[in-house]
Amino acid sequence: MSADMHDVAMTPVLPGSEDAAGQQATLGVMGGGQLGRMFVHAAQRLGYFTAVLEPDAQSPAGQVSHHHIQTDYHDPAGLAQLAQLCQAITTEFENVPAQALQALALTRPVAPGAAVVGIAQNRIAEKALFTACADVSGVTCAPYAVIETLAQLQAVQDDRADLLPGILKTARLGYDGKGQVRVRTAVELAAAWAELGGAACVLEKLLPLTAECSVLVARGWDGQVVSFAPQRNVHVDGILAVTHAYEGNMPPALADRAREAAVSISQHLSYVGVLCVEFFVVADGSAHGGLVVNEMAPRPHNSGHYTLDACDVSQFDLQVRAMAGLPLPPPRHHSPAIMLNLLGEVWLDGNGGRREPDWPAVLSLPGTHLHLYGKVQARAGRKMGHLTITGPDVARVKTVARRAAGLLGLPGLDFI
């Protein structure tokens, strides 16, 4: 695909405008989680009305939107209502059925489109894409094999010892490290595949990671593209725990390569909207030139939440602008920042009870920005909110982040 083949003219949906029937300019989002909530906040700040399609009555985005269409993502009547209310539509999580986006796209601009969301929903398609554009992006993914049949399992057991030790990942519906099993031997691989129910999977070689990073890109209908510098991410138990967003967070040459690779992938896809591309930094001297592309999310990403407080335009502002056909100025990252994810454990006392975090102590620290998502029930591993720390320099940001993490009992203090 070449970018200009697919770029289309889009009549901008102007903020605060009304149509002939007096209907306010309204932007829609499929999904009601925290990413939808922060999208709604950004859209409303510009004066748009918003509509959220989400089955859950108590969703983070449904709580704050002008309209909440409480139906299943497949429901034709709900989709028709969303299209009727909105001048442009986006999505906030990648497991929205691609057919629903296709149906909406018959009558409304939908960004990102069903085809690219479909690729991001399937690790097999995603890896094929990364492989197909490796020449232009300059990065490859980890060595891998597709396992969809017993014959493929057998072939990998016989001929791909190079992939072990590895990680077996389901092709679909994985997130936060779910649907993944680490395997050391061919026997463990067979057992793990059985444990995953014989679902379509990829076996990926376990790489010696020295770091992980991600890049946020925003691309418009006209092909205009802007990006943020890479943020460095630390995962604990497969879930993002800490994001480091400041100059010097990783070697500059790698940062430049990651940023260029993410932009070229968005161009290859003729992507419209905000795209997050995740990378592994691997130990020097490896065959991968130090950088490996892991996966992409067709939406704003947890690792980009710091942009709300540390940049003049956030990832959610850019999502609004891109889908609505507004200009995309290059974002300016004005403050060093560290983001700490707040999972349910912060509210759990370890004895089955609930505790209230010491917010007065946390918020008395300079440069702390608390974001809670309006989720009523705290569960272990559930993303309840995040805390971003900004400051005049990296040293001060780190000091405050360590204090805040200590007050909240967060794991991974040593990563700050």
Task: List contacts with ligand ATP (CB under 6 A).
Answer: 142, 167, 169, 174-178, 204-207, 209, 212, 235, 238, 278, 294-295
Q: Counting beta carbons within 10 angstroms of the beta carbon of residue 319, is it exposed (0 to 12), middle (13 to 18) or buried (19 or more)? A: buried
Judged by CB, which is closer to ligand ATP: 88, or 201? 201
Judged by CB, which is closer to ligand ATP: 108, or 205? 205
Query: Shortest distance, CB of residue 413 to ligand ATP, whole angstroms?
Result: 18
Query: Shortest distance, CB of residue 189 to ligand ATP, whole angstroms?
Result: 14
Strands (E), 92-238: 144-147, 166-170, 180-183, 201-205, 209-219, 225-227, 231-236
Judged by CB, which is closer to ligand ATP: 33, or 109? 33
Give the separation between CA 391 and CA 372, rounded to whole angstroms: 21
Q: Measured at CB, which residue is nearest to ligand ATP?
A: 207
Determine how many CB atoms are found less than 10 A away from the CB of residue 162.
9
Judged by CB, which is closer to ligand ATP: 100, or 203? 203
Judged by CB, which is closer to ligand ATP: 207, or 322? 207
Query: Shortest distance, CB of residue 383 to ligand ATP, whole angstroms?
Result: 10
Query: Shortest distance, CB of residue 329 to ligand ATP, whole angstroms?
Result: 28
Query: Shortest distance, CB of residue 296 to ligand ATP, whole angstroms?
Result: 10
Query: Shortest distance, CB of residue 144 to ligand ATP, whole angstroms?
Result: 8
Judged by CB, which is closer to ligand ATP: 62, or 166? 166
- State whether the Cα torsion 192-195-196-198 is positive or negative: positive
Query: Shortest distance, CB of residue 178 to ligand ATP, whole angstroms?
Result: 6
Determine how many CB atoms are found less than 10 A away from the CB of residue 128.
14
Query: Shortest distance, CB of residue 218 to ligand ATP, whole angstroms?
Result: 19
β-pairing, 49-53 vs 67-69, is parallel
- Residue pair 232/398 in contact (Cβ under 8 Å)? The answer is no
Query: Shortest distance, CB of residue 177 to ligand ATP, whole angstroms?
Result: 5
Give the separation between CA 402 and CA 388, rounded to whole angstroms: 12
Judged by CB, which is closer to ligand ATP: 212, or 317? 212
* 3-state SS record for 73-85: CCCHHHHHHHHHH
Using the 8-state DSSP alphabet, how is residue 53 labeled? E
Determine how many CB atoms are found less than 10 A away from the CB of residue 353.
8
Query: Shortest distance, CB of residue 292 to ligand ATP, whole angstroms?
Result: 8
What are the structure tokens assigned to 20, written together?
């002939």
Question: Helices marked H in 211-358 — which ranges?
Answer: 252-268, 307-310, 315-324
Give the separation between CA 79 and CA 94, rounded to whole angstroms: 17
Judged by CB, which is closer to ligand ATP: 137, or 335? 137
Judged by CB, which is closer to ligand ATP: 83, or 139? 139
Determine how many CB atoms are found less than 10 A away from the CB of residue 364.
11
Judged by CB, which is closer to ligand ATP: 181, or 207? 207
Place of tokens 């442009």: 88
Give the separation between CA 14 and CA 19, rounded to whole angstroms: 10
Angle, CA 24 vertex, CA 21 and CA 30 arms, to 5°: 120
Give the separation between CA 412 and CA 345, rounded to whole angstroms: 13
